[in-house]
Each structure stands twice: as C-alpha cells, then as structure tokens.
Amino acid sequence: MGELALYRKYRPQAFADVVGQDHIIEVLEKSLKSGAIAHAYLFFGSRGTGKTSIARIVARELGCAPEDIYEIDAASNRGIDDVRELREGVRSLPFRSPYKAYIIDEVHMLSKDAFNAFLKTLEEPPKHVVFMLATTEIEKVPETVVSRCQTFTFKKPSRVILKKVVEEIARKEGRAIEPGAAALNALLGDRSFRDTQGVLQLVLSGTTGTVTREGAEKITAAPSSALVEDFIAALAEGKLESVLGVIRTATEQNLNFKLFLKLILEAMRTILLFRFSPKMKDELRGEFSSDEIQFFERYAGSAGASINSQTLVEILDAYTAIGRAHIPELPLELAVIKLLKKA
C-alpha cells in the first residue's frame, strides 16, 4: 500500500465514482448538461459525506483547469480581509477556462462582517465565477446567503454502502477482507466515507493476508464479537451474575463502553430483524460471517425469547446515558438489573 492516504487515493474523480448521493448527482448532471448552471451552490451535510469531492467534480465538469479552481478553508480564512481579497480575485478572468470555481469549505465559520461583505459579491457575481459553498452547520449560514444558492443536502452513507466501499478498496489494494471485518470497519467509520477509509488504512497497515474480524478488532481496539455474544447469551438466559461478569470483563479491558454498547445494540437489532423480517434476514446475510449468522439465528428463535423490543429500549437508554455517567459501565449495569431482577 502506498503512502498516500486512502481517502485521497480513492477520492471520486467523476460523477460515476460517487456512491450514496444519487439524488444530488442526477440533478447536477442534468443541469450541467443543459447549461443551467447556478452562480452559487450550497452543499450541506455531515463530515465525510463527499461535499468537497463533488464540488471538485463540478468544477472539472465546468471545464475549469486546476489553476482556475480555488479552494478556501473558511475556518482559517474567516475574516473580512480574507473576503475582500476574494472579492478582488473574482474580478479577474479565468486563466484558461470558461469559469473560475471557488470552493469555500466550512463556510459557516465566516464572521458576520465577512458574510456581509461576501453577500455583495454573491448578489451580483461576475458571469465567469461559480461559487460552491460547503457546510456541516447550515443553520449558522445567514438566510440571505442560503437563499441565493442552489442547496443540496448530502445523506450520510449507510453501513451497507460503507461495507461495499471497504471491500472494494481492500480488493484494489490486493487484500481480502472477511464480511465481519468489513462490517466492523463500516460501523467504526460512523457513517463517514473519510473516517471509514481511515479505519481501513489502519487495519490494512496493521495486518497481513486476509483481514479477519478478530484481526480488525485487535488493531482498532474494538470490543470482541465474542464478548458481545457472551453478553447477549447471558442476558437471554436470564443470568444476571453472568451478565454483570461480562460487563466487569469489559471494564477490566478498559474498553470504550459507548462502542461496546453500540455493538450490542447492533447485534440485538439484527436478532430482531432475523426474527420478524425474513426479507431483511436474507439481505443481511451477506454482512456477517457464518458463525455470526448462526448466533443471530439461534437467538432470533426460542433461545432468545427475552431479547425483545423492550430489552433493546433499555439498552438504548443506557447508551444515551453513558455521556452523563461518572462511571461508564453504570448505565449498562442498571439496565440489566432492571431487566433481570426478580419480581
């Protein structure tokens, strides 16, 4: 694997390379093909969803040469003097392109005075200039700016999409990766393309041969699937002492309890989907190893009758309470005691 970061190496270079944003690509392709080019676009979405990547693709589709594409980080260039410099720059014609493209990332970071100055240019931009603004916090962008842009909302990629991205990149890097390892990578990526690729880079750098679930867990310090399954099995069997013992083991291993609960919730959700939705069960099979599928099928049946929606709600409440707890494991301990205490 080369030294170049995976998220840079596999950044989409054309609309056809973009995944998970079909609703945006369809509109942009049609408008660019018809010549209906807006003078300003606003791309809104969480980090790692492809906003600046698509902005770069739009610039290239407009025929902009590299020297006519200007990328500005508003987090570090947020003052009125920076915007005045930008206003001076837009007046000059492109070097060798039909347009000059200005990509302003984290645009919500501009100061109030900077926004006011920028608004004057946005209201009457030169015909040879196209602005592409990107933000993770659209509520901080003045309405006067938003109203003058064609706005696109970027979706967070699903774990199914991220898992496919992980498997495809691993293949291109000459590595095989087990379904369970790819699914864990997608989960740890927290629905961000960039973060998912960062996790994959860590895993590929720290392993050799086929990437297994156990190997990925070791490199990322994620709770083991065995520990998650032990917790669910003890909970399903009503063994309070055993469940508390698993929690104690997780504590001794100094695990990230929020991640531990996230994996538990993911497994319990899968058990319920296996139980109540045959169609979803068939769709989910490709995301897990044969051992994991066997576990889910066992507890989707009579062995896991006590794993139900109420159980999931109690564990979910524990997950949301972790951030407020001085003792990380306490919310989970209280949840299982409530679920398993004697009447």
Tens digits of per-residue pLDDT, 176-209?
999 889 988 998 998 899 999 999 999 999 999 9
| Residue 155 structure tokens | 């979706």
Residue 281 pLDDT > 90: no
Question: Which pLDDT band, with edges at 50, 70 and 90, does 342 fall under?
Answer: low
CATH fit for domain 225-340, picks 1.20.272.10, 1.10.287.1770, 3.90.1150.10, 3.30.470.20 = 1.20.272.10
Highest mean pLDDT out of 37-46, 84-93, 253-262, 292-301:
37-46
* Across 301-308, average pLDDT: 91
Beta-carbon-side half-sphere exposure of residue 130 (alpha carbons within 13 Å): 25
Residue 165 pLDDT > 60: yes
CB 40 within 8 A of CB 103: no
Of the candidates 297, 287, 256, 48, the residue with the CA atom closest to the CA atom of residue 181: 287
Do β-strands 100-105 and 129-135 pair in parallel, antiparallel, or remain unpaired? parallel
pLDDT in tens, 170-185: 999 999 999 889 988 9
CB 196 within 8 A of CB 186: yes
In whole angstroms, how far apart are CA 182 and each of 4, 7, 53, 211, 282?
A: 21, 16, 23, 9, 18
Supply the pLDDT for residue 286: 67
Architecture of domain 21-153: 3-Layer(aba) Sandwich (3.40)
* Across 51-68, average pLDDT: 96
| Residue 177 structure tokens | 């990766």
Q: Domain spans of the chain?
A: 21-153, 159-209, 225-340
Q: Mean pLDDT, the chain, as a whole number?
A: 92
* Across 235-259, average pLDDT: 93
Residue 33 pLDDT > 70: yes
In whole angstroms, how far apart are CA 95 and each of 68, 89, 90?
A: 6, 12, 12
Residues 6 or more apart in contact with residue 247 via CB below 8 angstroms: 231, 329, 332, 333, 336
CB 180 within 8 A of CB 270: no
Residue 343 pLDDT > 50: no
In whole angstroms, how far apart are CA 4 and each of 10, 176, 223, 240?
A: 10, 20, 29, 49
* Across 93-103, average pLDDT: 94
Angle at 309 between CA 343 and CA 302, to 5 degrees: 80
Question: Which pLDDT band, with edges at 50, 70 and 90, does 1 fall under?
Answer: very low
Of the candidates 203, 160, 202, 204, the residue with the CA atom closest to the CA atom of residue 183: 160
Higher pLDDT, 132 or 117: 132
Residues 6 or more apart in contact with residue 94 via CB below 8 angstroms: 64, 65, 68, 100, 128
Alpha carbon 23 to chain centroid, angstroms: 17
Residues 6 or more apart in contact with residue 204 via CB below 8 angstroms: 1, 170, 173, 175, 211
Beta-carbon-side half-sphere exposure of residue 66 (alpha carbons within 13 Å): 0
Question: Which pLDDT band, with edges at 50, 70 and 90, does 284 fall under?
Answer: confident
Residues 6 or more apart in contact with residue 122 via CB below 8 angstroms: 39, 40, 131, 145, 148, 149
Give the three-state DSSP class for 39. coil
Same fold, 21-153 and 225-340: no
